[in-house]
Amino acid sequence: MPRLQSLVSSLTLALVLFPLGVSLVPVRGEDWLEFRGLGGASRVEQGSLPVELSAADVRWSTNLPGRGLSGVLVVGERAFVTTSDGPTQDRLHLICLSTATGEILWDRQVWATGRTMCHSKTSVAAPTPCSDGTRVYAIFSSNDLVCFDLDGNLQWLRGITYDYPNVSNSLGMASSLLVTGGTVIVPVENDSESYSLGLDSATGANRWRLDRPKGANWTSPVVLAPGLVALQSKSGIDAIRVSDGSTVWQYAEGADTVSSSALADGVLYIPSSGITALTLDPADPAKEPKQAWRNNQLSPSTASCAVAGNAIYCINGAGVLTAGDRADGKRRWQLRLQGPYSGTPVTDGRHLWAVNEAGLVQVVELGEEEGKVVATLDLGDEILCSPAAASGALYVRSNTKIHKIGK
Amino acid sequence: MTFQGPLLARVRGRAMLLVGSLAGLMVQSALASPVSDALPAIRQVDHEGQGNAAAARAWKVLAAADASALPEILAAMDGANPLAANWLRAAIDGIVSKASGRLPVDALVAFLAETRHDPRGRRLAFDLVQGADPARAEQLLDGMIEDPSVELRRDAVAKVIARAGVLQAEGKKDEALVAYQQAFAASRTVGQIQTLAAAIRELGGAVDLARHFGFLTRWQVAGPFDNTGKEGFAAVLPPEKFFDLKATYDGKEGKVSWQAIETTDEYGMVNLNITYPPPPPPADAKPAEGGSKEGIKEVLAYAATEFESPLAGPAEIRIGTGNAWKVWVNGQPVFGRDEYHRGTEIDQYRMPVVLKKGPNQILIKLCQDEQRKPWTTEWEFQLRLCDEVGTAILPADGVATQERSQ
């Protein structure tokens, strides 16, 4: 989506959705408001991020109180990140920092009301929060969900496992939140009591609760259009109207339960039999989409694919970056990067910024015929999150720090 | 029979305490301070977002309060449900962030000294004292080795461990051993207990981990029953309907009956693959996918024991298992979960129960799925009885056994 269109639609969303009494801060096009950014495409404006990188480009690094691998949000001049700490990782933090200085502006804590057990590689602070520009919504692996305004005033909270005691995953939950149409989409899908919920973004009350396929699911939803989201599971994709939770169409050919779909320019790229591309009806995205192509040579692993320009970029479990043509899905080229990766790369269509688990930022020049690593920056810090990108800077976090790289 | 959520049950179990605390708040609100007036709205939040809108308005009042209000807000956590406690917790963050370090330390220490207060509130009070006056907080820990707050107790025990380490380094092994043993007896934190057990053993001391935790080690088991397609989890099989140790049942491969087993695992792990080993594979069998097959699949079994409780009253059943399971106490369902092979740890599941004095029957159903990966062979559980702090409840006669009912 062009930047102007993004800005206009975001402004419209902000103006329509938020009731009086909440300080109204327009969502800006350059904000990063959800896991993998707008549409989950992990896409930024061309030329907005630095290609040449050196240690001097690390503008600030701030110690975090607690661990986590959730992604960073950027809303105007504030960055938001979640952490957990304590002997059982049951102290849950939502932290607001100044994007200019890295100073922690506020830190709000709650205690976990659900189980905090998870695999040692992940964390209770695994899901990325989301924002509509006036509030920040954060969920944790314990299924505790909090909503604060940008100044740190608590708006509401929920304990999803407190409400539904078998909503949990002993390996850890990781699906990120989404907010659209005044509804917070809360995927808490697992082997047992498996739901996705739509909550009133103003009060946290249930608008709807859907029974979902039983099975561990770490994928995150994607906004298909205002008021319409895609929920991904092992069964495929369900397009859900956020006003009432009704299903408007289904793609039932299965999908991955780790890497998530991405939407770019009206096409949904699903990790299903490799990648399957569905073209939404531009006049009515609620209508059944058409399959554009499928290619099993595009095989994302933990990281999801990024989409920009005329290509889709996927990193597999061996750290091999594959570029696929968005027109027909055909593989253009491959490039072995230094992996492994947990986080989804960011791209502007000309370059791609990939941060591996060892904290090595690799900048790849994206050609028609090949890709080439043109710059690297070693952060010396384990990075498992998907980077955020806003106003010319990348934001990544580790179990101990958050870093700003760029302008 | 329906299964009751453990947290819901916990809330119900505290109903009387909540009523009492609300009454106290009503008396306080007669004093008409804005904080006192705001607290009831916070405490009335409940499941599925109930009361959130009113709580948000009240929260602003609390967060704007002076730091002198901290003890009152902390006290409002007494008997509060976990959601209300979190509203209060976040408000305290708001107060502290604008207090510029000027906290009512003496009042917080006095609050902390009253162990009747909610453990979460007391731990938070300690953290506030620690932030304002670290030396004083450190001193306070010396009296907290038996504290009802698991976290405060953990930090107090850590100090004893550090002292024991110094003694050990100085070659004073006997004194170090005594200190480690004191710390071990007090500790209720799994990792700390394991560290202490190793230290005591290194110095020649003995520890009984199963007894310290309160793991139940003697069971009667019946199985295997069919769990093809994981359907056995929901199926109500005869042992759930009527418990009879002399009964025989139609199992998956023929008649099955109860048999006594005892685990010697010091963490009380009951391994059903030992009780029900798979038949030897045919000579021409291909290796199982991903590794060797060490257990039978798509089965379930029941394990039962009788626990002689020394007292009537509230307790916790804590279970660790990577298999799907259900548990009953005295014929009443407590909880169950149909998750397979996502990991296990001690105290993975905590459930409040009420024990009667004398014999209490505990029945667990343990299900195995169809997966053939090496990490999916486990078919085991550990179960212990303790109080809310994690202190083992030991049987009246010192043994958790099924023997008396045979």
Q: What is the pLDDT of residues B82-119, one digit of tens each?
A: 999 999 999 999 999 999 889 999 999 999 999 999 99
Give residue for tokens 């404006």.
A45
Q: What's the complex ipTM?
A: 0.91
Is residue B399 very low, low, confident or very high in pLDDT (cuts 50, 70, 90)?
low
What phi, psi does A31 have (nearest 5°)?
Answer: -75, 160
Structure tokens at B90: 């976040």
Determine, for residues A161 and B339 on separate chains, whether the beta-carbon distance falls below 8 Å: no
Q: What is the pLDDT of residue A407?
A: 84
Q: Read out DSSP for B202-254?
A: HTT----HHHHHTB--EEEEEEEEE-GGGTTTTS--HHHH---TT-EEE-SSS
The contacts of residue B25 (CB under 8 Å, 6+ apart) are: B36, B39, B40, B43, B76
Residue A200: closest C-alpha in chain B: B49
* Rounded average pLDDT over A219-224: 98
Q: What is the CA A205 to chain-centroid distance, rounded? A: 23
Among A113, A152, A190, whose Cβ lies nearest the Cβ of B7? Answer: A113
Q: Could A115 and B189 be called an inter-chain contact, meaning their C-beta atoms sit closer than 8 Å?
A: no
Nearest to A154 among B56, B154, B322 (CB): B56
Adjacency order of strands within the sheet including A346-347? A346-347, A351-355, A360-366, A371-378
Q: Tell whether B197 lies on the interface with A, counting CB pairs under 8 A.
A: no
Q: What is the pLDDT of residue B11?
A: 39
Provide, as residue numbers in chain B, all residues whose Cβ is less than 8 Å from the Cβ of A157. Answer: 52, 83, 86-87, 90
* Residues in chain A closer than 8 A to B322 (CB atoms): 170
Chain segment B229-247, per-residue pLDDT in tens? 999 999 999 999 998 999 9
CB contact under 8 A, A165 and B335: yes
Q: How confident is the model at residue B292 (pLDDT cuts 50, 70, 90)?
A: very low
Question: How many angstroms separate the CA atoms of B187 and B193, rounded?
Answer: 6
User: Could A170 and B94 be called an inter-chain contact, meaning their C-beta atoms sit closer than 8 Å?
Assistant: no
SS3 assignment, position B199: helix
Using DSSP's 3-state secondary structure scheme, residue B82 falls into helix
Q: Is B52 near chain A, with CB under 8 Å?
A: yes
- Across residues B32-46, what is the average pLDDT? 95
Residue A351 parent element (H or E)? strand A351-355
Confidence of residue B285 (pLDDT cuts 50, 70, 90): low
Closest CA to A237 of A211, A219, A264, A225: A219
Tokens 């207060």 belong to residue: B117
**Would you give the distance in Å from CA B207 to the centre of its chain?**
21
- The secondary structure of A71-99, three-state, reads CCEEECCEEEEEEEECCCCCEEEEEEEEC
| Cα within 13 Å of Cα(A394), Cβ side | 32
Q: Would you report the helix, strand and coil content of chain B in percent, each value rounded to 5?
A: 45, 20, 40
C-alpha separations of B103 from B65, B77, B106, B237, B381 in Å = 12, 19, 9, 60, 47
Q: Which among A203, A258, A249 has a CA at the least distance from the CA of A228?
A: A249
Tell me whether B93 touches chain A (CB under 8 Å): yes
Mutate to test the interface with B, among A23, A89, A110 (most CBs of B within 10 A): A110
Domains observed in chain B: 6-141 (no CATH), 150-207 (1.20.58), 218-405 (2.60.120)
Q: Does A192 touch chain B (CB under 8 A)?
A: yes
What are the tokens at B377?
């062979």
The CA distance from A260 to A279, in Å, is 17
Q: In terms of pTM, does the model score above 0.95?
A: no
Token representation of residue A52: 């040449």
Min Cα distance B61 → chain A (Å) is: 11
Task: Give the pLDDT confidence of A63-81 residue by residue, as tens digits.
Answer: 999 999 999 999 999 999 9
The string of pLDDT tens digits covering residues A23-55 is 333 444 589 999 999 999 999 999 999 999 999
Domain positions in chain A: 3-406
Residue listed under structure tokens 């055909």? A330
Best of A92, A103, A108, A146 to disrupt the B interface by mutation (most B CBs within 10 Å)? A108
> What is the enclosing helix (H) or strand (E) of A270?
strand A267-270
Confidence of residue A381 (pLDDT cuts 50, 70, 90): very high
Are residues B8 and A165, on separate chains, in Cβ contact within 8 Å? Answer: yes
Q: How much is the pLDDT for B2?
A: 38
Cα dihedral A291, A295, A301, A303 sign:
negative
pLDDT in tens, B64-85: 999 999 999 999 999 999 999 9
B44 close to A (CB below 8 A): no
- The per-residue pLDDT for B100 is 84
Q: What is the CATH number of domain A3-406?
A: 2.130.10.10
The predicted model gives A140-164 an average pLDDT of 98
Mutation target among A140, A162, A171 for the B interface, most CBs of B within 10 A: A162
